[in-house]
Amino acid sequence: MQDATSFKQYRRQVRRALDNTFQREALDRFAVAYRTGRANAFSGVDIPELVAAIAAAKDAALDHLEELFEEFKAYAEAAGAVVHLARTAEEACDIIAGIARDNDVKKVIKSKSMTAEEIRLNTRLEAEGLEVTESDLGEWIIQLRHEGPSHMVLPAIHLSRYQVRDLFTEVTGAEQSVDIQKLVKVARRELRPRYCEADMGISGANLAVAATGTLGIVTNEGNARLVTTLPRVHVALLGLDKLLPTLHDALRILKCLPRNATGQALTAYVTWITGAVPCATGPGGKKITHIVFLDNGRLAMAKDPQFKQVLRCIRCGACANVCPVYRLVGGHALGHIYIGAIGLVATYFFHGKDKAKNLVQNCLNCGACKAVCGAGIDLPSCIKEVQARIQDADGHPLYAATAGAILRNRKLFHTMLRTARRLQKPVTGGTPYLRHLPMFLMKGQEFRALPAIADRPFRDRWPDIRPQAEGRGRRVVLFAGCLQDFVYPEQLEAAVTVLAARGVDMDFPMEQSCCGLPLTMLGEKAACRDLAAHNIRAMADDDAPIVTLCASCGSFLKHGYQRLFAGDPAMAETVERFCHRVIDFSSYVHDVLGLTAADFAGPGRTVTYHAPCHLCRGLGVTEAPRALLGDAGLTYLPAEEEDVCCGFGGTFSMKFPELSQELLQKKLDHIAATGAAALATDCPGCIMQIRGGCEREGSTIAVRHVAEFLAERITPKKD
Amino acid sequence: MAQPHPLIDRLEAQATAVAATVARVTSLDEALAYVTTLCAEKAPCQQLRAGGESLPAGSGEPHKIIAAPGLPEAAVTALRQRAAPLGITVITDGLRRHLGGIDVAFTLADAGLAATGTLVLRCADEELRLATMIAETHVALLPASGIAADADALEPTLAAWMSQPGYTAFITGPSRTADIERVTALGVHGPLELHILIREDG
pLDDT of residue B52: 47
Nearest chain B Cα distance for residue A254, angstroms: 9
pLDDT of residue B56: 44
pLDDT of residue A471: 77
Residues of A in contact with B132 (CB under 8 A): 225
CA angle A566, A240, B177 (to 5 degrees): 110
Q: Which residues contact A26 (CB under 8 A, 6 or more apart)?
A: A157, A158, A160, B181, B182
Q: Which residues contact A182 (CB under 8 A, 6 or more apart)?
A: A176
pLDDT of residue A623: 97
The average confidence (pLDDT) of chain A is 95
Residues of A in contact with B167 (CB under 8 A): 228, 271-274, 277
Helix (H), strand (E) at residue A495? helix A489-501
- Cross-chain residue pair B190–A221, CB shorter than 8 Å: yes
pLDDT of residue B57: 46
pLDDT of residue A294: 98
pLDDT tens string A648-660: 998 899 999 999 9
Name the residue with higher pLDDT: A3 or A685: A685
Give the mutation candidate from A183, A269, A271 for the B interface (greatest B CB count, under 10 A).
Answer: A269
Which percentage of chain B shows pLDDT scores above 90? 88
CA angle A284, A132, A229 (to 5 degrees): 35
- Cross-chain residue pair A30–B18, CB shorter than 8 Å: no
Q: Assess contact for A497 and A711: CB atoms under 8 A.
A: yes
Residues of B in contact with A197 (CB under 8 A): 51-52, 55
How far apart CA A470 and CA A504 sit, in angstroms, is 8
Residues of A in contact with B155 (CB under 8 A): 247-248, 251
Give the mutation candidate from B10, B162, B172 for the A interface (greatest A CB count, under 10 A).
Answer: B162
Name the residue with higher pLDDT: A470 or A86: A86
For residue A680, how far is the Cα from the chain centroid? 25
pLDDT tens string A530-563: 999 999 999 977 889 999 999 999 999 999 999 9
Report the complex ipTM: 0.95
pLDDT tens string B50-66: 864 334 444 445 689 99
pLDDT tens string A329-387: 999 999 999 999 999 999 999 999 999 999 999 999 999 999 999 999 999 999 999 99
User: A–B: how many Cβ contacts below 8 A?
Assistant: 192
**A473 pLDDT higher than 70:** yes
Query: In this complex, which of A220, A266, A273 lies closest to B116 when CB atoms are compared?
Result: A266
Which percentage of chain B shows pLDDT scores above 70? 92
Q: Assess contact for B2 and B147: CB atoms under 8 A.
A: no
Residue in A494, A493, A561, A490 with CA at minimum distance from that of residue A529: A561
How far apart CA A176 and CA A170 sit, in angstroms, is 9
Residue A719 pLDDT level (bands cut at 50, 70, 90): low
Q: What is the DSSP string of A558-604?
A: IIIHHHHTTT-HHHHHHHHHHHHHEEEHHHIIIIIS---GGGB-S--
pLDDT tens string A56-72: 999 999 999 999 999 99
* CB burial of residue A562 (10 Å; 0-12, 13-18, 19+): middle
Residue B2 pLDDT level (bands cut at 50, 70, 90): very low
Residues of B in contact with A278 (CB under 8 A): 124-126
- Cross-chain residue pair B159–A212, CB shorter than 8 Å: yes
Residue B1 pLDDT level (bands cut at 50, 70, 90): very low
pLDDT of residue B159: 98
Nearest CA in chain B to A81: B165
**A488 pLDDT higher than 60:** yes
pLDDT tens string A437-459: 665 666 788 888 889 999 999 99
pLDDT tens string A286-323: 999 999 999 999 999 999 999 999 999 999 999 999 99
- Cross-chain residue pair B155–A164, CB shorter than 8 Å: no
pLDDT tens string B10-26: 999 999 999 999 999 99
Residue A603 pLDDT level (bands cut at 50, 70, 90): confident
